[in-house]
Every structure is written in C-alpha cells, then in structure tokens.
Amino acid sequence: MVRRWILSLLMLIGIVGYFTIPTVANWIISAGGMGAYNRNMQTAAAKTGGAAGAVAGAVSGNIAGRLVNRNK
C-alpha cells in the first residue's frame, strides 16, 4: 500500500515537472539576459543586412547610370 502511494507521488511530481520546466527555464533565460542578447543579435543582423542592401543598390545604380549616360 505504501509503495502505491510513493509511486503515485512520484508520478504527480513528474507530471507537474513536465508542465512547469519550460516555464522555469524561460524565467532563467530571461533573468540571465539571454533575451537581451538575442535582441542585440537581431538588431546587428538587421543593420548588416540593411548596409549590404544599400551597397548593392548604390553599385547597381552607379552601373545603370553609366550605361544610360554612355548611350546618349
């Protein structure tokens, strides 16, 4: 009888842990600053992408301008 209670208690602890571990892990990551780190990485990636797009646009515009002026 005691063994059945212990197994039931362990099963209840397992079920509660299964549902609460992702929440607790999220709290730990947020408290550790990993959220800010990801935000900074995304901002840096967006700036890099924007700069690369600007350079590509400037180069293609320069080439197109030279081709148009050459034909005149």
Q: Count of alpha carbons within 13 Å of 65, Cβ hemisphere only?
A: 6
Question: What pLDDT score does 72 carry?
Answer: 61
Q: Supply 23's token pair.
A: 């929440």
Q: Supply 66's token pair.
A: 């030279």
Residues of the chain with pLDDT under 70: 31-35, 71-72
Question: What pLDDT score does 18 carry?
Answer: 85
Question: What pLDDT score does 22 carry?
Answer: 85
Any residues with CB less than 8 A from the CB of 35 and at least 6 apart, and which? 29
Q: Supply 41's token pair.
A: 């990485």
Q: Yes or no: say if 50 and 44 are a contact pair by the CB < 8 Å rule.
A: no
Question: What pLDDT score does 61 carry?
Answer: 86
Where along the chain do its domains lie? 1-32, 35-72
